[in-house]
Structure 1
């Protein structure tokens, strides 16, 4: 790989899933810890890198990648030998992209509205239509197989396993059987479990 990978990370945040993905990919990388309790995410040094002041972010050569779904897509394609992203031409490539995009465009907006007890926008303007339809669309897919792509484990599962883990833990998503079984399956993978445990230890 021509350039070194740098990872900007705060333990026990959304970037924990990216840490787990990097471990699953067996990637070599340098971690730059952003102490959000100290406000480092809003300091000029970090804002010069990511004006949104968010983690995760990665820097690979001259390429800065922010936004969770973009990072998952970029990293999984960057390490093709790990086979965590169906390649272009593979029939599973479309569904893989769909479920990663669904996370950012439907799931998170719905969960934020629900957690804030905020009335959603009119259905025609709401990015997720309505919460119940969003959730049933997801659970129906989870019931079809062990992974989002059926029998094929992918980077999409790292994203969703982590996300559903914390959203069910905080009561933002109901602990339906399809969801809890999926979370246990994904988060129980040795590499992911080790990454999450080390991240929790680092947050202390």
Structure 2
């Protein structure tokens, strides 16, 4: 069987990939990387020319970008049951969370101001519209693509969980209720505990 390897840093979006790997339940190797020169060696840049984490390798296959990692692993290991019947909502919200929604949140956190007459140029329109769109989406069904948990909830849930934790999205009842349906999943709890332990070790190293 092709071996899975996760290249990550516990203070990164690699936490999304770790959660997803725990959901699929397959063994994987872990390579923890420091920011800076380690992510810009020729060997690592051959895997991820962006010089960032996470990167997942599956045998000779290389996957970067958290939404792609979630979608790939769900397809590669169908026995985990993480691809829902409603593929339309699944793909829609998986990539909305990783694309327009994250861009809107990061721009707001960095103080980037989009002039009203230029909102048609950015994928998210404006922050309030992006937030309202996702708020409506998580209010419709228990999970983002329907009645059961899917790989898209790993991406969407991570964005909402971090947003609530760090105050980068409004603390609205729909977001809080959605996150509470995800926060205690055993795979998420395991993944978070392992990454938190890495962070604690680094801070005492």
TM-score (norm 1): 0.91
- Structure 1, unpaired ranges of 5+: none
Give 1:150 shift.
2.5
Q: Normalized per residue, which structure has more helix?
A: 2
Counterparts of 1:97 and 1:13, CA distance in 2 = 23
Counterparts of 1:12 and 1:167, CA distance in 2 = 15
> CA RMSD for the aligned pairs?
1.5
State which drifts further: 150-159 or 116-125. Answer: 116-125
Cross-structure match for 2:17 = 18
Q: Deviations over 1:105-135 (max 9, x none)?
A: 2111101110111112612211111111111
Q: Deviations over 1:139-190 (max 9, x none)?
A: 1111112211231210111112122111221111111111112112212112
Counterparts of 1:165 and 1:156, CA distance in 2 = 14
State which of 181, 194, 200 in structure 2 corresponds to 1:198.
194
Give 1:191 shift.
2.0
Matched, 1:110 2:109: no
Give 1:45 shift.
2.9
Q: Are the equivalent residues in 2 in contact too, given 1:41–1:54 (CA < 8 A)? A: yes
Give 1:67 shift.
1.0
Cross-structure match for 2:63 = 65
Cross-structure match for 2:174 = 178
Give 1:15 shift.
0.9
Give 1:39 shift.
3.9
Counterparts of 1:84 and 1:15, CA distance in 2 = 19
Q: Secondary structure at the match of 2:63?
A: strand
Matches within 5 A, 1:53-92: 53-86=51-84, 90=85, 92=86
Counterparts of 2:163 and 2:136, CA distance in 1 = 18
TM-score (norm 2): 0.91
State which of 90, 94, 98 in structure 2 corresponds to 1:100.
94
Q: Deviations over 1:30-60 (max 9, x none)?
A: 1111122x64223333223211011111111
Cross-structure match for 2:203 = none
Counterparts of 1:167 and 1:80, CA distance in 2 = 30
Q: Deviations over 1:52-84 (max 9, x none)?
A: 011111111221111111111101101101110
Matched, 1:52 2:46: no
Q: Are the equivalent residues in 2 in contact too, given 1:162–1:187 (CA < 8 A)? A: no
Give 1:103 shift.
1.4
Q: Secondary structure at the match of 1:64?
A: strand
Counterparts of 1:98 and 1:136, CA distance in 2 = 15
